[in-house]
Chain A
């Protein structure tokens, strides 16, 4: 399941690792990327539509990174009734931060690409590319240092 986007995500996150980013910093980058995805998609598919796609991506990524289960179960204080229908990036950041930065980058790449691939199976390559273009353009074009130190 190699794709151009996967390569770009991997280059972005691995670049951060090479530049000496901590696992917390990698986790923040992944979360920031998901926030951009969220911004791009929620107006179209709704909060719950976005949450369903996110949860499915987590589920599909777990065989490779079983510790992502923590991100799916939600944070300790996530007592909101709608937790099932929300994208819980706090839990994701927390789960990623417990691993090494290389591991966090690998899992982040897997999760983001899984999300993209899932959307592709539903609405096709062209439209997925069209909807997520602002995400890749604004987040992945810049170098790690510029993005995180801002």
Chain B
């Protein structure tokens, strides 16, 4: 009969971190949080500590040389998670500067062991470990000293049933640092600056006994603390289970005549790209799509990158948001990552059990991204569309498309291939007037209309009119009247293409 050790996992309380860690932090593990100054190590440590520490599971936070403790407390208390009442009750701060000042690692170790023995903390933090290392180098040139220190510390704290975090700066990955060998977990925090934007990322280089999500995960640091953005595909699966599974039906679009053009509405779960020049009515179509969903008892989510729906002259979307049927992903902060947008979208989708999603527009979305993410926009967008498809929602994305009358293009990013359906809107000149036409270019695995239909926009929204059957050369932008003998009957036939 075998009975393996059970490794309990602690949930860190940092949104997204547990998923990235592969299911929380193993209890009694010995972890290293590394990163440059300002990368968020101390904040991460505090956030974890305030989330986990209780009088029954107390924490000790050792401050060594480096940031003066008063200053650390001054800044950390600005975060929402900081709770003064927890201090000296479930959280104890202990300053080791006197022990560390002459670089005697044995003295530092002795004091840590003393305090740990006395208080039996379940969580131990040493901030910063670098100052211990530097102090030891000025002391005596004993290369084994540091390794000895780390091994002793790791052994003692694990035996004392404490989950430990060493915070350190300036570690380099290539460095054969003894700490790396001893540590059960390596959490690396990075920040990169490109032009005027700063992007923060976290990477789990090692986490013994479990499978962390590999790669760099972007995170945000604001007054609520740290929020890690879990890769889209990992989140999508959990959201899929949360929203209602619906039969394989087609969605109505809320614009009379358009469902017929699409071959009977938009198949559920499809992504639809609405491309057209500025002012052609893409946002109107998106608003109609959401409103129609609400009319049918569905809910939706919109990510408006172009205009704040509350300030838009068209009140349709604002009213839907106010009614609570449509969620709204606030995109006022710039320098976002695709994963961040997707996580926010998925959270709203989950909250509202939404089935219709609008991204208005991809051009605005691209601008909102931090420059470092723009390079692989196409790839990221494809990931976003795939993830939303996994969830099973139907997505309408708008994209600005400059009218070009010499060639026929549907999307600026080569996005056409990744969407299931495409509607194109264009301006044409007829009898000295600028008029609009719309056509369904593609509906994957479905018959659809091949008609170019004129449409107009009034207070009631989009009204689809007739084919301009007496004109030809519409896509050239300057159609000419066909000779009378060749004119076909103008009545819409809804012939499927």
Contact = CB atoms under 8 A, between A and B. Distances in A.
Nearest to B92: A43
Contact of A126 (B68, B70, B84, B93): B84
Given A123-B73, A123-B77, A124-B77, A45 B84 contact: no
B88 A130 contact: yes
Contact of A45 (B77, B85, B88, B95): B95
A45 B94 contact: no
Interface string B53-85: 000000000010000111101100100000011
A130 B73 CA distance: 13
A145 interface: no
B77 A49 contact: no
A8 B415 CA distance: 71
A103 B227 CA distance: 55
B69 A49 contact: yes
B84 A42 contact: no
11 contacts: A43-B92, A43-B95, A44-B69, A44-B95, A46-B97, A49-B70, A49-B97, A123-B70, A123-B74, A123-B77, A127-B87
A49 B68 contact: yes
A47 interface: yes
Contacts of B98: 46-48
A47 B95 CA distance: 9
A96 to B, nearest CB: 27
Interface residues of B, number: 18
Contacts of B68: 45, 49
Contacts of A48: 97-98
Contacts of B87: 127, 130-131
A46 B95 contact: yes
Contact of A127 (B77, B94, B95, B97): B77
A48 B95 CA distance: 10
Contacts of A130: 84-85, 87-88
Interface residues of A, number: 17
A64 interface: no
Greatest chain A CB density within 10 A among B63, B74, B93, B95 is at: B95
Contacts of B77: 123-124, 126-127
Given A42-B95, A46-B97, A46-B98, A127 B73 contact: yes
Contacts of A127: 73, 77, 84, 87
A81 interface: no
A122 B69 CA distance: 11
A45 B69 contact: yes
Nearest to B96: A46
Question: Which 3 pairs show the lowest CB-CB distances between chains A and B?
Answer: A46-B95, A126-B84, A127-B84
A142 B77 CA distance: 32
A85 B230 CA distance: 48
B367 to A, nearest CB: 39
Contact of B70 (A42, A47, A122, A129): A122
A143 B427 CA distance: 89
Nearest to A124: B77
A46 B69 contact: yes
Interface in A28-60: 42-49, 53
Given A127-B84, A130-B84, A130-B87, A43 B74 contact: no
A43 B92 CA distance: 9
B70 A43 contact: no
Interface string A101-118: 000000000000000000
A126 B87 CA distance: 11
B163 to A, nearest CB: 22
A123 B73 CA distance: 6
A92 B418 CA distance: 78
Given A46-B69, A49-B69, A130-B88, 15 more contacts: A43-B93, A45-B69, A45-B70, A45-B95, A47-B97, A48-B97, A48-B98, A49-B97, A53-B70, A124-B74, A126-B84, A127-B87, A130-B85, A131-B87, A131-B88
A131 to B, nearest CB: 7
Contacts of B73: 44, 122-123, 127
Nearest to A44: B93
A42 B94 CA distance: 8
A48 B65 CA distance: 12
Contacts of A123: 70, 73-74, 77
A43 B85 contact: no
A44 B62 CA distance: 9
Interface string B289-300: 000000000000
A31 B184 CA distance: 48
Nearest to B93: A44
Contacts of A129: 84
A130 B71 CA distance: 17
A117 to B, nearest CB: 14
Nearest to B65: A46
Nearest to A128: B84
A47 B97 CA distance: 9
A139 B449 CA distance: 87
A43 B94 contact: yes
Contacts of A47: 97-98
Interface string A64-97: 0000000000000000000000000000000000
Contacts of A43: 92-95
A80 to B, nearest CB: 15
Nearest to B99: A46
Nearest to B87: A130
A76 to B, nearest CB: 26
Most buried by B among A48, A126, A127, A131: A127
A126 B71 CA distance: 15
B53 to A, nearest CB: 15
B377 to A, nearest CB: 43
A108 B170 CA distance: 46
A48 B85 CA distance: 25
